Each structure stands twice: as structure tokens, then as C-alpha cells.
Amino acid sequence: MTALIKICGLRSIEALDAALHAGADLVGFVRYPRSPRHLDLKEGRALSQRAKGKAQRVALTVDAEDAELDAIVAALDPDMLQLHGEETPERIAAIRARFGRPVMKAIGVAEKADLHRIAAYQDVVDRILLDAKPPKTAEALPGGNGLAFDWRLIAGLDPACPVMLSGGLSPENVAAAIALTGVQALDVSSGVERAPGEKDPARIEAFIRAARAAWAARNHRDEVA
């Protein structure tokens, strides 16, 4: 399975170019007004066109209605839709049928029981994003809160299940996350920022470099074992 890195919440040409230059496999654009990473459609269109053919472009939404999704798809032409709200399996199936694009569904994790939700979505999505369950506060966002869950919870997941790990990742801890979980796909946002919504190109590069090195070391250990 190919190891994948997604840099999410990109809002500037500088940050997007840093992600592409460093070798990000996926780049994420957020359409959620409460988020400091929210993009208007004009900005999103320009960034998405710049990334076309260089990385998979992912549009993130939260419980969006069809009209909003229509506008997002028309403007951003995303390669994948990321659903980060309370979308049901039935709603996701309808979205996939309407737009004919791969879908990634975020599931919040705080304890082992939360992983039982994977089974409900596994047959209707192309990938499952495992993120830290947001705190129960008024200002908390569905994702991008910079929080991590106990990564040991997913260490025994079926490796064939197409999951992506998110929540609290950073250049400093990504190697530990890979070592604990064995995941082959990562999503980072706040961990590569200098301020909320403001990506740091140096941290983007450092994150991707650290993740690739950790995967290479793990593969080497497996080969010599």
C-alpha cells in the first residue's frame, strides 16, 4: 500500500507550493465558515487549479447541503470530497451517486468503541479519516483542533481498511504515530501552522520529511526481520 500524506487547510499560494514541492500526495481545501482555514470559492478555485495534476485535491465540508456541494464541485473540481460532519451512510451514498467522486468520511475517536462506526461506513466510502473527537465546547470545530487521541487504539486495525490518521499530528510526533499505529496515510493541518489558519512552509516540509523517513525506517526493519 502506497504511503500517503495530506496537507489540509491550505489557504495561500505559498503554503500550497510548499506542500506540492515537498511531495504531498493530497492537498485539502476547507469550506466551513467557522474554520480559520475556510476558503471562499474564488480563492479555492485558484488554488485548486494550481494543484491540478500535482496532487489529489480534496474539498472538506461539514454537513453541506446539495446546493453548497454543487457550488464547491463547480468551483474547485475536487478529486475527492471529505465529509467531516454527522453525515449518515445513506447521505454519503447519495453524495457519491450525485457527484461521482471518491468520498472520505471523518470519524471522531476518543475510545475504542468509537471505532465500531467504521463498519457502518466502510462500504460507502473510499477512505475513512480517524480524527480526535472534538471537545464539547462551543468554540470546538469538527476537526483541526490540534488534538490527538490515543493512537494505540488503532494499532490492531485491519491493514486492508483504507484509513487515514489525523488529529494532533506534527513534525515532532509523526514518527511516533507511525510506529504506534502502522498507518500508511496521514492528514495534518494545525500541526504545520504558525498561527490558526496560517501554514508554515518550513513545518510542512519538516512534517513530510519526518513521515517519509519514519516509513522508510519501518520498511527497512520489516525487510530485515
The pLDDT tens digits of the residues spanning 48-104 come to 999 999 999 999 999 999 999 999 999 999 999 999 999 999 999 999 999 999 999
Classify residue 139 by burial, with Cβ atoms within 10 Å: 0-12, 13-18, 19+. exposed
Catalytic residue among 70, 131, 161, 200: 131
CA proximity to 98, closest of 115, 122, 81: 81
Q: How does pLDDT run across 106-121, given as a tens digit for each residue?
A: 999 999 999 999 999 9
The predicted model scores a pTM of 0.93
- What CA–CA distance (Å, rounded) separates 208 from 169? 11
Whether residue 60 contacts residue 31, with contact meaning beta carbons closer than 8 Å, is answered with: yes
Quick one: fold of 4-224? TIM Barrel (3.20.20)
The confidence score (pLDDT) of residue 100 equals 96
* Residues in a beta bridge with 185: 4
Average pLDDT over residues 177-201: 95
161 is catalytic: no
Whether residue 150 contacts residue 176, with contact meaning beta carbons closer than 8 Å, is answered with: no
The confidence score (pLDDT) of residue 160 equals 77
Q: Residue 12 pLDDT more than 60?
A: yes
The confidence score (pLDDT) of residue 219 equals 81
Q: Residue 218 pLDDT more than 60?
A: yes
150 is catalytic: no
- DSSP classification of residue 134: P
